[in-house]
């Protein structure tokens, strides 16, 4: 079997850069997408391609960005200095996907605001006593 010549299958290649990965996995239909920060912006890695590497020691699997001669990014999964897999990015970026992420971020901001408001209210109740507010008035409607 002949390997594609545009990809490097060596354990190390000049110009490879470790990718910062998002701790959040996005469910893109049937794909568990891991966001990786690359030199060309965010790109996604389909988690299913990492499943065969799950026996790699905790914290030892690292994802590196590599680039072909024509500028196409691909990922190298490595443990230490050893190449374990070469993985192509999953093309998730389109207008619909970006709009869905923006909506999700907006909903998260609302949820965070509501959570912080509740926490602040609880904190004030514990400081000023049950049923009282900071101005000394009784709580309630």
Residue 141 confidence (pLDDT): 46
**Contact between 33 and 91 (Cβ < 8 Å):** no
pLDDT per residue as tens digits for the range 96-115: 999 999 999 999 999 999 99
pLDDT per residue as tens digits for the range 42-96: 999 999 999 999 888 777 899 999 999 999 999 999 998 999 999 999 999 999 9
H or E stretch including 65? Answer: strand 61-67
Residue 138 confidence (pLDDT): 54
Q: How far is CA 32 from CA 27, 45, 59, 90, 115, in A?
A: 5, 8, 19, 10, 28
Residue 132 confidence (pLDDT): 54
Residue 128 has pLDDT above 60, yes or no: yes
């Amino acid at each position: 079997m002949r390997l594609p010549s545009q990809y490097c299958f060596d354990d190390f290649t000049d110009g490879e850069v470790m990718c910062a990965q998002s701790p959040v996995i996005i469910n893109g239909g049937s794909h568990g997408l891991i966001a990786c920060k690359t030199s060309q912006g965010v790109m996604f890695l389909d988690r299913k391609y990492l499943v065969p590497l799950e026996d790699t020691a905790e914290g030892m699997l690292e994802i590196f960005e590599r680039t072909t001669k024509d500028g196409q990014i691909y990922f190298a999964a490595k443990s230490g200095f050893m190449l374990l897999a070469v993985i192509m990015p999953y093309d998730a970026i389109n207008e619909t996907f970006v709009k869905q992420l923006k909506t999700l971020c907006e909903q998260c901001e609302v949820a965070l605001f509501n959570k912080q408001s509740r926490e602040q209210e609880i904190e004030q109740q514990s400081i000023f006593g049950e049923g009282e507010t900071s101005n000394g008035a009784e709580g309630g409607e």
